[in-house]
Structure 1
């Protein structure tokens, strides 16, 4: 027969002896393992009286075995808050479920310090199923509590930083809104024989826009208006907008001819930004001369979308100003003049390209000039403010398809009221 183990007998005998010695060592150290375990152990009677406790937990508490065993209850080891939690939650749960696991508590040491721990308890039952005692394991949670405290502090600091950032953002938005309003007329003046309406949409409350408009008197019989768009956004664009508005106003009071006014603006912007960061704008400038039941309009455009006229008869068309160049790019620029008359019920609409370049539909197509003309023709010719209100609703319908600032300025002659007839008076 083949032997299963061919090793020498002495070697086998030595191995058996070593195993026996190791087993004996384990048996001898079981009590030591209990006493010197890296966690605390204790056993309590069902009324909470401590019947057994290991050395590790005694060292944490700073108490002797004689002070604890048979003299103290488990709840006596806890802080005031821990005792309250033990009586209201821990003990009822243990009685109901027979065990509780991983409960965070604080034990108090002999020198009055708090020590955070995690407690797990389980009821030991007898052969008849009745409760005999409670075995409890106590884990040192100081490192964990320190980590949680640091984590909580970090979260609190992050939350405080977030709230501060939100507050700073709100203050910035308020400041920008005030500054933006300073670049626009607070309200449009009342012009005899004329109605006016305006609207300004800000694409981002955190960025200053470059769109602008104004309406102001030149003398007793004439009024000037303009609308335009400065390239870019932010403080630099706002500076150009401010310079542009005041230059247009000053130039118009000196010589209100639209081409002359835009030429003056071109000279100022080109000289101011001739080197470094080039800045330019587009604009329409015009003069209104109200008369009997009509307003004559003389305007010029520099690179700006053509003005749109909504007529009282339900039609709409653009007032062409081809060839007008961007303002401020070249030392000399060509500007295109145009003239028209507004009769009762007619409205002249000026707008910036945020309106026509809005994206619509699932294909994100440009709204475009044709769609704007069609939209204007579909609206009742009831005056500038009514048209501006309709366009405001249109801009809102664009949603996130409207990603640029948009300015609207509408000027028109109020429609004649029908004369009452004898039938109306009866």
Structure 2
């Protein structure tokens, strides 16, 4: 509208004409033109599927002339072989029953290949309710197909990556198992008058543990044994475990006294890891000697402990208890560590049990907050009274497995027992 007493400016006149020009253009845009040039394909068919009307967009997609289709072909003839089969067996029967169907993914045939489309159809009824014709709309689904194919490729790539990761994990676990086994004795030596058994439970197959044990001959009469737990996990702990095992073996051959053996190990730790190395290492350990008396059938055990949980003596008659070694320092903590000694005699039917803290620190309550503990282990061991060493270890193995995911640390077990005397007939 013009301002009073003023002529409209050139821009104001253009603004007034613009809405009118747009409205006029809309009036000139006929319904037929809209149908022909729509961004999707339209066609109308008789109830038997014969094409009666088709728009220019769909003709362009097909690369065909109108005269070749109208009255000559059915809608199903435009589909690929698989699409035609689906139309005859599923699409058409559902359409007859429901009167409409939408969003079905099919493919139409083109001169240069095939084209994915989403198809929706509706049945038009007459005034008396009889079906007259079918109106069908086809939407270009090429972008959607490309997205789905890309998504499928992504899923396949992810699945292949998952399979590769699983294969790598298995190979890693196998390699770690081999390395872990190399840090433990293949078999325990035969000791006259003594039965021995051991078990190593790996809580995490994908991670090297730091628990260790060994039994070996010192001389013609005595055997040495040790069991312990290196701080940390992984390759560094494995290196410390290797150092510990070979140092204790060498030390025992030079001087089998248990305190001397642990003191040598303590010195080796300080020479290797102390002195500002930035990687301090330590371990708990029990080292001992066993000396069978073939005349009495008894076995004398001398041992020293460096910060390790006390050994358990399971007596044949059931009076089991801890072989306490309080106050012994961890190996590697200080340059001159104090180690505590203990001595016991195993009679026929008795067993000495050594273990690492993985079993006593297993979480057993429903909320996984309570620990199994040393007293519970002592009670369980006492129930194995009179059994040979292999049977004791077998029972403890079952106990470990019963903890399930409550056992999150490796556990080493070593049992040394004197066979019970067989009564004479």
- TM value normalised by structure 2: 0.89
Matched, 1:395 2:400: yes
User: Counterpart of 1:286?
Assistant: 288
Aligned to 1:176: 176
Please list, as runs of the form range in 1=range in 2, the aligned pairs for 1:267-346 lying within 5 A after superposition.
Answer: 267-274=267-274, 275-292=277-294, 293-346=297-350
Match of 1:205 in 2: 205
Mapping 1:13-412, distance limit 5 Å: 25-26=26-27, 29-110=30-111, 112-274=112-274, 275-292=277-294, 293-362=297-366, 364-412=369-417
Name the residue aligned to 1:10. none
Q: Is the 8 A contact 2:311 2:323 kept in 1?
A: yes
Q: Which moved more, 1:83-92 or 1:279-288?
A: 83-92
Instruction: Provide closer, same or farther for how the CA distance between residues 24 and 358 of structure 1 changes in structure 2, counting only shifts above 3 A.
Output: closer
Distance 2:116 2:406 in 1: 56
CA distance in 2, matches of 1:350, 1:25: 94
CA contact (8 A) 2:100 2:122 kept: yes
User: Partners in 1 of 2:255 and 2:320 — Cα distance?
Assistant: 31
Separation in structure 1 between the aligned mates of residue 195 and residue 25 of structure 2, nearest angstrom:
107
Q: Is the 8 A contact 2:315 2:385 kept in 1?
A: no
- The equivalent residue for 1:9 is none
Which residue matches 1:15?
Answer: none
Q: Distance in 2 between matches of 1:162 and 1:24?
A: 59
CA distance in structure 2 between the aligned counterparts of 1:382 and 1:24, rounded to whole angstroms = 102
Q: Structure 1 stretches of 5 or more lacking a match?
A: 1-17, 421-426
Offset, 1:403: 1.6
Displacement, 1:25?
Answer: 5.0
What's the CA shift for 1:27?
Answer: 8.4
The aligned counterpart of 2:418 is 413
Deviation at 1:370, TM superposition (A): 2.1
For the residues of structure 1 that align with 2:370 and 2:97, how far apart are their CA atoms? 67
Partner secondary structure for residue 243 of structure 1: helix
SS of the counterpart of 2:67? helix
Aligned length: 402
Q: 1:257 to 1:28 in 2, by over 3 A?
A: closer
Residues in 1 aligned to 2:335 and 2:94: alpha-carbon distance in whole angstroms: 87
Whole-angstrom CA distance in 2 between matches of 1:29 and 1:380: 101
Per-residue CA deviation, residues 329-361 of structure 1 (Å, 9 max, x unaligned), is 222211122211110011101110112222222
| SS state at 1:90 partner | helix
